[in-house]
């Protein structure tokens, strides 16, 4: 069996490491991959947005299954093109990927199907949006409607921050077309968690829940990022809240997408807030979360390729999980999520069976591997308990020579 994984980040590296456990796989390809992925798969120099070339490669290489990591090719219709060529792909169609591609579509969809979420309004006019902010006050949440690489959400703690966010999006076009419509939401209080599921039409197979830390610095300070670390399982998540999230959010969403004529196949991700009134949806993603994937997949006992094949064949994959804990901490370039330097030599980490290194923004250079992005790599650890897993990770990070080029949060899972 041959598998193609589309993407170049930590999520894709984690998927590939999990696929490698299957000794029946003849070949794993990554397009385009990264310097760390090269050690685990054959990297093909095709950009993830070059859908026609990806289709051609999948046909020529006789790929049996394609897995898509990032959101942009999904919203550009990669699944539709693969299906037109009768190529097996585990990913949502362009129509179904709109659940992530448009915040306003997602909010209207949740309202229609009675899926718990924050109250909201949609604006295209800056003056009207600012009027709403003046009426509501802060804290308040401002979201760019379209895809903005995880940076289009501003949790404004003051009215000034909220007004600045409106100016950035609607006036200065900081996110181009993605920010030409904004969603203004009530601010939800509580503990966040992420719940992903393998989905095919109305069948939903939930994974273990994880918690991601979005803010750049310790104690959830600083700007929002694409994620600075994650852990699983979540000790404070009750079985009741988990089941509610599966039945009233994920299963309702899958059924609603069928009703809308946008049947969903792939990974459905719910970013949730545990409020005093129960779990509510912050956002839906239509692919594996990053960095949650890096702490959830290492705990999956099943063979990932077999799970996806079973789900596509409408068979229950009977998901099983290791009774352990996983912690992952992101090493980021200094300056991220703002401007940062690339090309810094990567620190060295020990090879250790309890520790794993997931590459995100890395590339090869003459002297070895160097940084090539904001989130550079993730150091992950597995152990019997969360504190033990966190200790293993921080023992590695605290010994690393960062030379003023990188930073990481010291409180993930603490």
Of 9, 28, 2, the residue nearest 69 (C-alpha): 9
The DSSP code for 146 is: S
Tokens linked to 145: 């409607």
Q: How many CB atoms lie within 10 A of CB 412?
A: 25
Tokens 């409106």 locate to 166
Q: Go through 151-180 and write b for each residue having 16 or more CB atoms within 10 A of its CB, e for each that does not.
A: bbbbbbeebebbbebbebbbeeebbeebbe
Q: Are 214 and 224 in contact (CB under 8 A)?
A: yes
Alpha carbon distance 372, 345 (integer Å): 10
Q: For residue range 140-164, what is the model confidence (pLDDT) as tens digits? A: 999 988 887 767 888 899 999 999 9
Q: Which helix (H) or strand (E) holds 222?
A: strand 221-224
110-123 pLDDT tens trace: 999 999 999 999 99
User: What whole-number distance in Å separates Cα of residue 287 and Cα of residue 196?
Assistant: 9
Taking only the tens place, the pLDDT of each residue in 209-224 is: 999 999 999 999 998 8
Token pair recorded at residue 140: 């308040």
The angle formed by the CA atoms of residues 364, 391 and 221, to the nearest 5 degrees, is: 75
pTM of the model: 0.94
Q: What is the dihedral of CA 285, 286, 292, 295, to 10 degrees?
A: 160
The pair of three-digit structure tokens given for residue 77, joined into one six-digit string: 């219709």
Mean pLDDT of all residues in 330-334:
98
Token pair belonging to 139: 């804290």
Res 344: pLDDT: 96
Residue of 161, 187, 177 whose CA lies nearest to 124: 177
Confidence check: pLDDT of 301 > 80: yes
Question: Nearest CA to 44 among 16, 24, 18?
Answer: 16
Cα separation, 286 vs 269, in Å, equals: 6
**397 with 412: CB under 8 angstroms?**
no
In this model, does residue 411 exceed pLDDT 80?
Answer: yes
pLDDT band for position 198 (cuts 50, 70, 90): very high
Confidence band of 171 (pLDDT split at 50, 70, 90): confident
Helix (H, G, I), strand (E, B) or coil at 171: helix
pLDDT on residue 392: 96
336 within 8 A of 151, measured Cβ to Cβ: no
Distance CA 212, CA 233 (A): 11
pLDDT of residue 179: 74
How many other C-beta atoms are found inside a 10 Å radius of the C-beta of residue 208? 21
Name the DSSP letter for residue 312. H
Q: Which region among 22-26, 372-376, 406-410 has the lowest average model confidence (pLDDT)? A: 22-26
Listed range (53-67, 115-129, 198-212, 315-329) with the worst mean pLDDT: 115-129
| C-alpha count within 13 angstroms, C-beta hemisphere, residue 250 | 30
What's the mean pLDDT in 39-55?
A: 97
Mean of pLDDT over the chain: 94
Q: Write the DSSP assignment of 223-245 as a string of letters.
A: EE-S-SEEEES-TT--HHHHHHH
Rounded to whole angstroms, how far apart are CA atoms 370 and 344?
Answer: 5
- Give 148's contacts (C-beta < 8 A, 6+ positions apart): 175, 178, 179
CA dist 188 and 191 (Å) reads 9
Count of residues in the chain? 414
Q: 132: left (phi > 0), else alpha (psi -120 to 50), else beta?
A: alpha
Q: CA–CA separation, 51 vs 57, rounded Å?
A: 10
Domains and CATH numbers, the chain: 2-93 (3.40.50.20), 123-180 (3.30.1490.20), 191-312 (3.30.470.20), 325-407 (3.90.600.10)
pLDDT of 150? 66
Question: Among residues of the chain, what percentage have pLDDT more than 70?
Answer: 100
């Amino acid at each position: 069996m041959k598998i193609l994984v589309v993407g170049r980040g930590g999520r894709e590296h984690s998927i590939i490491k999990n696929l490698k456990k299957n000794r029946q796989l003849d070949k794993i390809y990554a397009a385009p991959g990264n310097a760390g992925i090269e050690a685990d798969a054959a990297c093909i120099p095709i950009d993830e947005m070059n859908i026609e070339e990806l289709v051609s490669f999948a046909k020529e290489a006789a790929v049996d299954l394609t897995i898509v990591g990032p959101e942009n090719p999904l919203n550009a219709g990669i699944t539709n093109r693969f299906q037109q060529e009768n190529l097996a792909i585990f990913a949502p169609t362009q129509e179904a990927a709109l659940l992530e591609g448009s915040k306003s579509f997602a909010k209207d969809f949740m309202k229609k199907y009675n899926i718990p979420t924050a109250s909201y309004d949609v604006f295209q006019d800056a003056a009207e949006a600012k009027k709403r902010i003046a009426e509501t006050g802060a804290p308040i949440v401002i979201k760019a409607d379209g895809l903005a690489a995880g940076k289009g959400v501003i949790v404004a703690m003051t009215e000034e921050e909220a007004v600045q966010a409106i100016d950035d999006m609607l006036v200065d076009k900081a996110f181009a077309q993605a920010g030409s419509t904004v969603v203004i939401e009530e601010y939800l209080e509580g503990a966040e968690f992420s719940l992903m599921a393998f989905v095919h039409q109305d069948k939903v197979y939930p994974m273990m829940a994880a918690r991601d830390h979005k803010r750049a610095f310790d104690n959830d300070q600083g700007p929002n990022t694409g994620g600075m670390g994650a852990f699983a399982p979540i000790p404070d998540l009750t079985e009741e809240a988990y089941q509610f999230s599966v039945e009233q959010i994920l299963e309702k969403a899958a059924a609603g997408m069928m009703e809308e004529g946008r049947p969903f196949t792939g990974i459905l991700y719910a970013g949730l807030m545990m409020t005093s009134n129960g779990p509510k949806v912050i956002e839906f993603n239509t692919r594996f979360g990053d960095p949650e994937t890096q702490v959830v997949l290492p705990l999956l006992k099943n063979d990932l390729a077999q799970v996806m094949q079973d789900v596509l064949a409408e068979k229950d994959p009977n998901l099983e999980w290791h009774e352990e804990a996983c912690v992952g901490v992101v090493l980021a370039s200094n300056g991220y999520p703002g401007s940062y330097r690339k090309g810094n030599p990567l620190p060295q980490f020990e090879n250790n069976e309890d520790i794993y290194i997931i590459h995100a923004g890395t590339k090869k250079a003459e002297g070895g591997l160097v940084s090539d992005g904001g989130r550079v790599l993730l150091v992950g650890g597995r152990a019997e308990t969360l504190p033990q897993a966190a200790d293993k990770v921080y023992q590695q990070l605290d010994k690393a020579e960062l030379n003023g080029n990188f930073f990481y949060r010291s409180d993930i899972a603490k």
